[in-house]
Chains A and B, each alone.
Chain A
Amino acid sequence: MTSAPDLAIVGAGPAGLAAAIEGARLGLAVALYDEQPEPGGQIFRAAESVAAGKGAPLAAFGADYAEGPQLVARFRASPAAAGYMPRTTIWLLDRQRTLGHVQDGKARMLRPKRVLIATGAQERPVPLPGWTTPGVMTVGAAQGLMKSAGQVPEPPFALCGSGPLLYQFAAQLVAAGERRFTVLDTTPKGRWARALPFLPGALRDTDLLLKGLGLMQKVRMAGVPVLRHVRDVAVHGNGRVEHVTFRHGNHLGELPVQLLLLHQGVVPNVSLSLSVPLRHVWDAAQRCFRPALDAWGNSDVAGIAVAGDGGGIGGWQAATAQGELAALEAAHALGRIERAERDRQAAPIRARLKTALAARGLIDTLYAPPPLAALADATIVCRCEEVTAGQVRAAIAMGDTNPNAVKSRTRAGMGPCQGRMCGLTVSELVAHARGLPPDAAGTYRLRPPIKPLPVAVLADLDTSAVEEEEDAT
């Protein structure tokens, strides 16, 4: 890029795509980066390829996914498409908006006028005994394989956990003709009673409610065994998964599987936003950290905004609305539209956002993650450094009062994933032990590069774009 873009967007999911389309419509020079090979993000992964008949049949993925190819087509037709860089990882963003990207082993730095973080979500890592055994994967991983490579798991396998995505993927498998699997639903008893107060709000989005119930129905009707209120799941096997054990009612269950697919909902992917660092708050309802944002997605750092699941889980329709709002705000901040015009155009988008978020309280309460107090000492928490819950608890007992202290003592969070897998768990373990809310306990401090860069790439780093600008000022 010769000149810095007006608006640089990190993540080509629904939020990033909508922001790019809207930004370009408002006359902004847009750059859009994503480390995936195709636009679409998590929900619309490989939407173009699937729509083109490569891989799994489009119909298997359901009505929501069918919106993907349309959104991507609108993006391809927009001037924003010229600034799209696939297979490009953003490894640096600082408070001065210095943005570092790496594509095909070539790293560059530039300083866009505005940055929108649209990095989406990741599945919530919930440790259980044996979850590092080869053959244990996430539901999202298997779903991604079906979207991007047209592959489905071979029996015997099971889906295990809680949340809408569990049944969504189960229904997608059934639609693709695979019913030889088991669903181990770990949603505890009594959740509907607790979620009832949120039902009236959720009724504003009856579509979503009916869709959820319909999926469950479809899976059961297909003859897929669904075991509900499953507890104490553990994975067994020497070098690879052989069977899974669990409690179901008063029974001890055992199931031979070669693949176990776990899911416990999704949480914001905050690696980049934490590394800036933007100010983050603890979301008690969703049990996760998210950046503190205003109604336009602005963070506490000038010129850096967040849209989509990366700012708090809201699903893809909320993500597109938030992306559009952030683009309007960027256009206003850069002097392209007046404040009144921004607000006028934002009004219908805000109405859409409200509907999209209507069922959130219900979903968050129904599918709240299991409490961490039940986590056994012997269970691995940090997958990279193989640090157990017991070791983390011991570090806390020895006086480590925050996740960074635990990290230096135990090495938890020091591996290549940089705490993506253990960060939330360690924050919650510290908070639980000290009787504090997790935001008082804090999070790991994250430093760039947020993904390991080969030394050769750093040595070749092209910083001319940032330096030129610094010379000019």
Chain B
Amino acid sequence: MFRTLRPAAQAEAVTITYEGRPLSVPQGISIAAALLGAGEMVCKSMPTSGADRAPYCLMGACFDCQVLVDEQPTPVQACLTPVRPGLAVRRVPRPTPVPEGVAHD
């Protein structure tokens, strides 16, 4: 989907996993940038329709890039979370596990 303009200018690569598959991505970029650069897009499935969602605004506003990382129960915004070696990224399955006391109206 996105290609790296000057691969030689990129920082060293680190390996993360997305849905269990290893991806080699530049150190220091966000999870969202890493996924898009690797041709992966889907971050979560919507609780209502089950439709897939991918990053939309990449500035922390839309929450469509929420993913699960490592064993943490609460999703993070992939556009605001940097990659690090060994990070395990998973899609947020439908229905979104919203921990009690966090959702608000």
Contact = CB atoms under 8 A, between A and B. Distances in A.
B101 A455 contact: yes
Interface of B: 1-6, 9-11, 26, 28-30, 33, 36-37, 41-42, 46, 48-49, 51-64, 66, 72-74, 80, 82, 99-105
Interface of A: 35-37, 42, 49, 53-57, 87, 89, 122-123, 132, 134-138, 140-142, 144-146, 148-154, 176-177, 239-240, 258-259, 269, 383-386, 407-408, 414-418, 420-421, 447, 449, 451-455, 458
B26 A453 contact: no
Contacts of A148: 29-30, 33
A417 B4 contact: no
Nearest to A385: B48
B33 A149 contact: yes
Contact of B58 (A137, A239, A383): A137
B61 A122 contact: yes
Contacts, number: 151
B99 A134 contact: no
Nearest to B48: A386
A152 B29 contact: no
19 contacts: A56-B6, A57-B6, A122-B59, A137-B58, A140-B58, A141-B58, A142-B2, A144-B58, A145-B58, A149-B30, A150-B4, A151-B4, A386-B49, A408-B105, A420-B61, A452-B74, A454-B73, A454-B74, A458-B101
A94 to B, nearest CB: 15
Chain B contact residues: helix, strand, loop or mixed: loop
Nearest to B74: A454
A144 B63 contact: no
A154 B2 contact: yes
B63 A152 contact: no
Given A132-B64, A151-B5, A416-B63, 10 more contacts: A55-B6, A87-B80, A132-B53, A137-B58, A149-B2, A259-B1, A386-B49, A407-B105, A421-B62, A452-B103
Contacts of B56: 132, 136-138, 141, 383
Nearest to B73: A454
B26 A149 contact: yes
Given A134-B53, A386-B46, A455 B80 contact: no
A412 to B, nearest CB: 11
